[in-house]
């Protein structure tokens, strides 16, 4: 490819042209690479979410994980009332919405579900209310 470039710089992709020009200019091969310019500035990148939104989504993921690991603590393990054992009915704090800073105002917010859970079925996102319903 280098030989082709030497004969005709336009015979290679523009990124290789820039690389070979830098090498010819004395740059070490490891430092001759130049990343192509970004199509968007940092503020204009499509799909970038505010930090607060990302934080809320991470908290929902933690809530889902807490139900996966501690949900048995609030499950009705004796629905027929046959067992007379004194089961602890304390709700672990990590299964409470307030533990993550959520309240009633957040129940109708929609959250993207993590790929590690299947509670959404075919839906990629659910409201917090529906997430809790499905977890319980």
Question: What is the full DSSP assignment across 73-85?
Answer: GTS-S-TT----S
pTM, rounded to two decimals: 0.53
Query: How far is the C-alpha of 11 from the C-alpha of 30, rounded, in Å?
Result: 22
Tell me how far CA of residue 82 lies from CA of 25, 79, 119, in angstroms.
84, 8, 30
Cβ burial, residue 131 (10 Å; 0-12/13-18/19+):
buried
DSSP-derived 3-state class of residue 102: coil
Q: List per-residue pLDDT tens for the chain, 136 residues long.
A: 888 888 998 898 888 888 888 888 887 777 767 666 554 455 555 566 677 788 888 889 888 888 888 888 888 877 887 776 666 777 889 989 999 899 999 999 999 888 878 888 888 899 999 999 998 8
Tell me how far CA of residue 78 lies from CA of 90, 125, 132, in angstroms.
15, 32, 21
């Amino acid at each position: 490819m280098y030989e082709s470039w030497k004969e005709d710089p336009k015979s290679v992709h523009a990124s290789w042209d820039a690389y070979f020009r830098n090498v010819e200019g004395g740059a070490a091969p490891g430092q001759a690479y130049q990343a192509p310019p970004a199509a968007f500035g940092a503020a204009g990148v499509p799909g970038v979410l505010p930090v607060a939104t990302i934080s809320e989504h991470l908290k929902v993921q933690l809530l889902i994980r807490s139900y996966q690991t501690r949900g048995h603590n609030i499950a009705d393990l004796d629905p027929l009332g046959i067992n007379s054992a004194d089961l602890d009915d304390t709700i672990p704090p990590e299964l409470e919405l307030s533990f993550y800073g959520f309240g009633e105002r957040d129940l109708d917010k929609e959250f993207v579900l993590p790929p590690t859970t299947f509670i959404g079925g075919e839906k990629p996102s659910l409201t917090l209310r529906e997430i809790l319903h499905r977890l319980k």
